[in-house]
Structure 1
């Protein structure tokens, strides 16, 4: 059975402060915040605002100068910091793996420190590699230098989850990888959270990343002062001030595409064949399916090529040179923005949706995506109208109250007509 916990733990920061000797101003000044169990909270703000310092004080990699930290209701401010860190997973940029240790040894560090048996550590390591999408037989004996950047980050997340901590802290964990890998890692984190329900505190300077993964976002000013702490929807539609608006930037409605997942829209099917199917069977399917094209899957049912009638005429007994390679796919946990970009990349009006191991699940077409954009824009318009109506009602109430005050109490006339 998996040893992953069902829920995370709440985190409470109370007047958390960090002062460095010789500095006139504190690096973090009197921050108070409540994070719910199982919630993903993202700290976003300009460089040097104190967001990473605040994160590191939660597991006391940086010791607070003042204030309290409670995890799951327990005050950990005075707990042995080494004991605390064994209960809090921590993932950083560039993974931070030990280069002289194998993947399995890196993942098993904390379980070994807290006294787990070798069979239990081995079982947990294989479970976690599977969880982050790496084949245990292939990767457990490799060293970090033998991994790509994305693979290293996956191992880093697996290591942070090894002892099944209720809390996971992530300090710009995907900041050092290329944009495509970063998108995939974000999707993977969303999928993991969907399964594990940990409490995650995530630091980034990228507001689009914050929108994509956060249940709530804390937009931080200098010294980690909270400019706004709310849901992505609320921040996009009602930024608290000009500072927050600067982070939202232009195109707020389009940024809302990051709030809807592919799993939440209509996924349709398309005719599929595999590389092992006879050519005549493939030709017959294309002729009878009513579709102009069919999707060729590899032996593991992963999308490989799009085939059209003309391609099969040119195949001459082999599919090696027939068809067009699938350029882009999206997972069920990808955002509609990812899907829209993939549709435009493939330039064919649809994108293939894949499951956890890259297997074919269905397709999402441009019409579905456009309809979703229209729904988001309409929701924004209705929200704006409702907000305007509330403002007008408030102004009318204030005007009425001022008029009542000017005329005096009921039954009392003005000067010259005193009763």
Structure 2
């Protein structure tokens, strides 16, 4: 995709809302537009599928100018997900997801299969959610359905306008992880708008930091922006704690996920007692009937068990997926008294655990790598400065920097 000198000037406004944006987005890349409120990032996004018509400039997808395409037909080829999901309240989940495939003429059987495939893809059981209405879903479930609907007709391009901005922080983290997993499987070209720089770091292959009127302050990888912000404006967006923000660049799947002794709520109580008493560790992970993390059980909890586990153990309030960042995992560990966090699959099923020691070792390795990179950069600058000094002393360069 290429945006070329893209401009939007509303009648009567003294300045353009978007002024001359030029940007190349590679196939299969997730690019995040981030900037202050009112800088025009959503306007840029909506010009791509012509929900807003550009005043001037060119937008091309696979070399085809989108201004030469019927706008309704164009929008059916581009997925679009927005904040608060935008689902039709009078339609079931299945009908919402099926909307675009039906419009483009898919057969009933193909649409039905696609709806089930999409629900499974976003981690919702088709048997449970197929006939529900949006009002019967949580905010996170609605957003998952919104993403499923945007992907239903298998568009090559997906536009996402602050899609996770209206949900609570824990749900937002899980939805971000889900998008990362989906992108790893589907390799769509995604343009994602947010005002949250941490979200941009976590999701983006590249980030475009936008000033007023969508002037590009820096367009680079998250690593490059964190380590070498282009100017004070970008530094202000990065904010304090750039080293900690780098924790958003490493995933749980990149570190060791350990196994842990588990039992299930439907195991015989005596078996649970025996395992807890005889095990090397003084703690077990209790799974529910769907193999999802439920409680931490400790030996000291045995005295509270009187024919039931209802009052025993400590509830698990948070878990992470393999696509979660080390920052997500560290926050979960710090808020959990066990010193570790459970790692789960796409339907919440238990996979393993990551403990504090593993996370701290990863942080130390990251900081050491940053320190070595900074030293190498400094030595390179010093060597370059020394070469220039020698050249000047030998009369090779004039004070203007031209060959003498």
| Same-fold call, TM cutoff 0.5 | yes
Is 2:49–2:74's contact at 8 Å kept on the other side of the alignment?
yes
Residue 411 of structure 1 corresponds to none
Residue 301 of structure 2 corresponds to 311
Residue 250 of structure 1 corresponds to 240
Partner secondary structure for residue 297 of structure 2:
strand
The Cα offsets for residues 121-172 of structure 1, whole Å up to 9 and x where unpaired, read as 1111111111111122222222222222111111111110010001100000
The runs of at least 4 aligned residues of structure 1 exceeding 3 Å deviation read 404-408
Q: Would you say 1:284 and 2:274 are equivalent positions?
A: yes
The Cα offsets for residues 360-417 of structure 1, whole Å up to 9 and x where unpaired, read as 1111000001111111111111121122122222322332333334898xxxxxxxxx
From 119, 124, 136, the equivalent of 2:114 is 124
Structure 1 pair 407–278 and aligned structure 2 pair: CA distance change class (3 A)? closer
Mean Cα displacement is larger for which, 19-28 or 53-62? 19-28
The Cα offsets for residues 247-282 of structure 1, whole Å up to 9 and x where unpaired, read as 100000100111111111001111111122222222
Measure, in 2, the Cα distance between the counterparts of 1:397 and 1:31. Answer: 39
Q: How does 1:19-418 map to 2 (within 5 A)?
A: 19-405=9-395
Partner secondary structure for residue 245 of structure 2:
helix
Structure 1 pair 278–376 and aligned structure 2 pair: CA distance change class (3 A)? same
Is 2:276–2:282's contact at 8 Å kept on the other side of the alignment?
yes
The Cα offsets for residues 189-243 of structure 1, whole Å up to 9 and x where unpaired, read as 1111111111110000000000011111000111111111111011001101100
Is 1:327–1:345's contact at 8 Å kept on the other side of the alignment?
no
Is 2:28–2:188's contact at 8 Å kept on the other side of the alignment?
yes
Measure, in 2, the Cα distance between the counterparts of 1:94 and 1:33. Answer: 28
Structure 2 segments unaligned to the other structure (5+ residues): 399-404
Is 1:57–1:64's contact at 8 Å kept on the other side of the alignment?
yes
Is 1:268–1:363's contact at 8 Å kept on the other side of the alignment?
yes
TM-score normalised over the length of structure 2: 0.95
Is 2:124–2:347's contact at 8 Å kept on the other side of the alignment?
no
Measure, in 1, the Cα distance between the counterparts of 2:314 and 2:190. Answer: 41
Q: Please report how far the alpha carbon of residue 112 of structure 1 lies from its aligned counterpart in structure 2 after TM superposition.
A: 0.9
Partner secondary structure for residue 304 of structure 1:
strand
Q: Please report how far the alpha carbon of residue 358 of structure 1 lies from its aligned counterpart in structure 2 after TM superposition.
A: 0.8
TM-score normalised over the length of structure 1: 0.92
Measure, in 1, the Cα distance between the counterparts of 2:89 and 2:83. Answer: 15
Mean Cα displacement is larger for which, 143-152 or 353-362? 143-152
Partner secondary structure for residue 394 of structure 2:
helix
The Cα offsets for residues 347-370 of structure 1, whole Å up to 9 and x where unpaired, read as 221111111111111110000011
Measure, in 2, the Cα distance between the counterparts of 1:385 and 1:30. Answer: 38
Q: Please report how far the alpha carbon of residue 283 of structure 1 lies from its aligned counterpart in structure 2 after TM superposition.
A: 2.2
The Cα offsets for residues 6-36 of structure 1, whole Å up to 9 and x where unpaired, read as xxxxx11111111111222211111111111
Is 2:115–2:152's contact at 8 Å kept on the other side of the alignment?
yes
Q: How many residues align?
A: 398
Partner secondary structure for residue 68 of structure 2:
coil
Partner secondary structure for residue 257 of structure 1:
helix
Is 2:391–2:397's contact at 8 Å kept on the other side of the alignment?
no
Measure, in 1, the Cα distance between the counterparts of 2:150 and 2:85. Answer: 10
Structure 1 pair 112–306 and aligned structure 2 pair: CA distance change class (3 A)? same
